[in-house]
Structure 1
Amino acid sequence: MSQKDKTTIYDISRKLNISAATVSRALNNSNRVSTKTRDLVLKTAKELNYQQNSLAVALKSGRTFNVGVVVPLINRAFFASVIRGIEEELEPKGYHVIICQTHEDADKEARQLQALLNTNIDGVFISVSKTTEDLKHLEAVLQAKTPLIFFDRKKDLKGVSAVSIDDFQGAYDAVSHLIEQGYSKIVHLGGDRKLNIYEDRYRGYIAALEAHGLSTQNLFTLQMSSTIESGIEAVNQLYDSKTDFDAIFCASDYIALGCVQELRSRGIQIPQEVGVVGFSNEPFTSHLEHPLSTVGQTPVLMGKMAAQVFLEQINAGKDSEPLEKNVVLKPELFTRSTSLKKGTV
């Protein structure tokens, strides 16, 4: 269909015998139009295949009604669920979500943020890559007076809000659970502690050991990628180094799954000989032959909360001071067969 053949508000007004101004108000959800009229206009607009001019709407409102969500990996259920939460909160309010993934590459992250800014994006949600150290590309978002909201992984940057779970408490609860089940030689397989989430999980691990009177000297801890292969390799390293251990607290479910696979291949009984707890509550964890104990991160709620913080800031106007909210959600420990040596606690 050519530009001149496109349906306009005047076509709708002629069909309904109402003014173009009334049609415009109805399409823009104005409270000056009755619900009955608005519903009739929307129904007719759909029948005539009317499409609003997004540029005209943006010029009138000062908004594009587009937001960007930047994640390290789109194929992880956690990030997909956060995006779902953001969409569920923003789509009813007319926003469209543009998704970018960095593949843990800080340079790619910087290019994607610049591309989003070039489209006059209304806001950016980001979980930073593990290689992000230089914050200039994040500061550029603030300089453009565009709301920037961290979720899960964050950096210490003034004027930026963040929504996360209490990773310290999640780790503390997981390790305390292992200790209460009778495990005393607990090793920790974590992620790169340059990222706040893995540093906090490590600190929670140490704090739980100390709180229960266990030594924190000569502990076996590793920093690794969040992959099944890393978990398999770590278990091999534990046995190769003749490390004395009876439980493994993993900073990710993928590492934990690798641990479980390798332990079982060696004939190790889980949880009788070795207990395993992961982190994230990935969907697969409850469907394994031996369901995996893990810490849940409430990702959909995290996305919804991040969206609410964005709406609060965008509705305050571009000239308002940037919000600097720090929303910390409560983690949930799921105790399953890989750690329940004594049964339900």
Structure 2
Amino acid sequence: MNEKTTIYDIAKALNVTAATVSRALNNNPKISAATRKLVMETAAKMNYKQNKLALALKSGKSNNVGVVVPYIDRNFFSAIIRGIEEELYPLGYHVIICQTHEQESAEIDNINALLNAQVDGILMSVSKLSTQTSHFEHVLNKNVPLVFFDRKKDVKGVSTVTIDDYQAGYNATKHLIEQGCSKIAHLSGDWALEIYKNRYKGYKQALLDNGITFNKDYVIKTKSDIKAGHKSVEKLMTLETPPDAIFSSSDYVALGAIQQLKKMGVKIPDDFCVIGFSNEPFTKFMELSMSTVDQLPVEMGKMSAKVFLEQVKESNVKIEKKVVLAPNLKIRATSTKK
């Protein structure tokens, strides 16, 4: 049978009205348990599929939530998604995942597709190349809750869940100073993203608070990959006064830096200390386990979901929350001098 079964077919088979079938399928309390059971059994036999989009349009609730991330294959973002799902699945929500690959055009397309799918909310991490805010305002104008996690833009009415990146940069740098390092380089990400700018500010302040002169030659903006770590170390080690430590805004860049330092015969951590950022799974399992800043992604995901749920509950009240999680420094072999 090619034609889809409709509520009218079920009504005809049971000799009841289509309205009765519709109410039974939608748990209407006016319908008796016996009638509802009969309708559900008949619907299953006749292979009836409810039109979820039509239901969403009618009820204004789809039980779907959109999650937009730059990359799904980064452990950090997949762990955030896990946290979101752990919080929302038990409540009957389904998560639709989109990725932007750092492109603003993809971000806009994803948001429009999610709005067309009648999602109940959008939780997202802003792409690196995102410059405008009109697509975010469009979400708010549709009365759809929007929550930024990790990377955010300042948009009135949007709640955010982040870690204290400034404090993370400060703590990581202070730890290196406590290990006796005084020429600390910083490998930073793109300052178009507030997170990288704040990690840099924390790094700089820790130096100044501990009487260490800030040296702009020790700060390099890089891509977040291993090759960038190789190149950065090559550049730093040709300076007249090379550094004796690196605080990197990325674990991948820190890994590349460690590989290059080893290639050059530099002893880690005896002569050179390294701290990364994100607590990627590989950091624990390296020959020398890598010190890093844990961004608590599962907790960040759970908290983002909780903020969304609060907004849904208080649908008549506009809520704007700024949740800031405390970073957790994981001190391991690459920054612990004997």
Task: Please report the TM-score for the alignment, with normalisation by the length of structure 2.
Answer: 0.87
The root-mean-square deviation of aligned C-alpha atoms, in Å, is 3.2
Q: Find the counterpart in structure 2 of residue 236 from structure 1.
A: 234
2-structure distance, mates of 1:42, 1:263: 67
Percent of aligned pairs with the same amino acid: 53
User: Residues 56 and 118 of structure 2 are in contact (CA less than 8 Å); yes or no, is this contact kept in structure 1?
Assistant: no
> What's the secondary structure of 1:338's corresponding residue?
helix
1:93 is displaced (CA, Å) by 1.6
> What's the secondary structure of 2:72's corresponding residue?
coil
Q: Find the counterpart in structure 1 of residue 198 from structure 2.
A: 200
Describe the superposition over 1:77-136 as per-residue Cα deviations: whole angstroms up to 9, x where unpaired: 000010111111111222221111111111221122122222222111111111111111
1-structure distance, mates of 2:30, 2:325: 39
Q: Mapping of 1:291-302 within 5 angstroms? A: 291-302=289-300
1:61 is displaced (CA, Å) by 2.8
Q: Find the counterpart in structure 2 of residue 116 from structure 1.
A: 114
Describe the superposition over 1:140-196 as per-residue Cα deviations: whole angstroms up to 9, x where unpaired: 111111111000000111000000111111111111111111111101000011211
Segments of 5+ residues of structure 1 without an aligned counterpart are 15-19
Q: Find the counterpart in structure 1 of residue 319 from structure 2.
A: 323
Q: Find the counterpart in structure 2 of residue 17 from structure 1.
A: none
Describe the superposition over 1:296-315 as per-residue Cα deviations: whole angstroms up to 9, x where unpaired: 01101101110111111122
Q: Find the counterpart in structure 2 of residue 280 from structure 1.
A: 278
Q: Find the counterpart in structure 2 of residue 258 from structure 1.
A: 256
Amino acid at match of 1:335: I
Amino acid at match of 1:58: A
1-structure distance, mates of 2:91, 2:2: 30
1:280 is displaced (CA, Å) by 0.3
> What's the secondary structure of 1:159's corresponding residue?
coil
2-structure distance, mates of 1:42, 1:274: 68
Q: Find the counterpart in structure 1 of residue 86 from structure 2.
A: 88
User: Residues 253 and 280 of structure 1 are in contact (CA less than 8 Å); yes or no, is this contact kept in structure 2?
Assistant: yes
Distance 1:150 1:6, change over 3 A: same
Distance 1:56 1:184, change over 3 A: same
1-structure distance, mates of 2:47, 2:336: 58
2-structure distance, mates of 1:248, 1:323: 40
1-structure distance, mates of 2:42, 2:337: 64
Task: Please report the TM-score for the alignment, with normalisation by the length of structure 1.
Answer: 0.86
> What's the secondary structure of 2:243's corresponding residue?
coil
Q: Find the counterpart in structure 1 of residue 147 from structure 2.
A: 149
Describe the superposition over 1:250-305 as per-residue Cα deviations: whole angstroms up to 9, x where unpaired: 00101100001101111111001110000000011001111100000110110111
Distance 1:277 1:32, change over 3 A: farther
User: Residues 7 and 48 of structure 1 are in contact (CA less than 8 Å); yes or no, is this contact kept in structure 2?
Assistant: no
